[in-house]
């Protein structure tokens, strides 16, 4: 299994139906993004309210589905533009996820 910092990160621009589980997200990766969900990559999705994200990862013998729900605040998420996906590196993914924490801290002060 590769470490996260070595894997490409494909971000789904716009919102995704968070009722989708592994099979639904795999289908989205294959049919909408024309990518292989079994590749050594992370696929990241966000809901319409931008307070929940899911990350799909193939580890060689099964899928992981990570889920994060913010109790306050929201993620800064790109809208759908010319492309349905964005390619990020691990640091950019961390900034995206950690940005919600920073935003909450700034609002408190």
Domain extents for the chain?
A: 7-108
Whether 82 has a pLDDT exceeding 80, the answer reads: no
Instruction: State the Cα torsion 6-27-71-49 to the nearest 10°.
Output: 120
Task: Supply the pTM of this predicted model.
Answer: 0.84
Q: Which residue has the higher pLDDT, 84 or 21?
A: 21
| Burial status of residue 15 (CB atoms within 10 A of its CB: 0-12, 13-18, 19 or more) | middle
pLDDT of residue 24: 97
pLDDT in tens, 44-55: 999 999 999 999
Q: In this structure, which long-range contacts are made by residues 90-99, counting pairs with CB atoms below 8 Å and at least 24 apart in sequence? A: 90/4, 90/5, 90/6, 90/7, 90/9, 92/9, 93/9, 93/11, 93/42, 93/44, 96/11, 97/53, 97/68, 99/75
Whether 89 has a pLDDT exceeding 50, the answer reads: yes
pLDDT of residue 103: 54
Q: What is the mean pLDDT of residues 80-84?
A: 78
Q: Residue 73 region, left (φ>0) first, then alpha (ψ -120 to 50), else beta? A: left
pLDDT of residue 83: 77
């Amino acid at each position: 299994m590769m470490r996260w910092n070595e894997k490409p990160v494909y971000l789904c621009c716009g919102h995704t139906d968070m009722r989708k589980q592994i099979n639904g997200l795999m289908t989205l990766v294959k049919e909408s993004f024309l990518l292989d969900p079994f590749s050594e990559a992370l696929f990241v999705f966000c809901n319409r309210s931008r307070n929940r994200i899911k990350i799909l990862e193939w580890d060689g013998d099964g899928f992981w589905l990570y889920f994060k729900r913010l109790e306050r605040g929201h993620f800064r998420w790109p809208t759908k533009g010319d492309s349905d996906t964005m390619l990020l590196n691990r640091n950019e993914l961390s900034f995206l996820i950690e940005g919600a924490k920073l935003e909450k801290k700034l609002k408190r002060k």
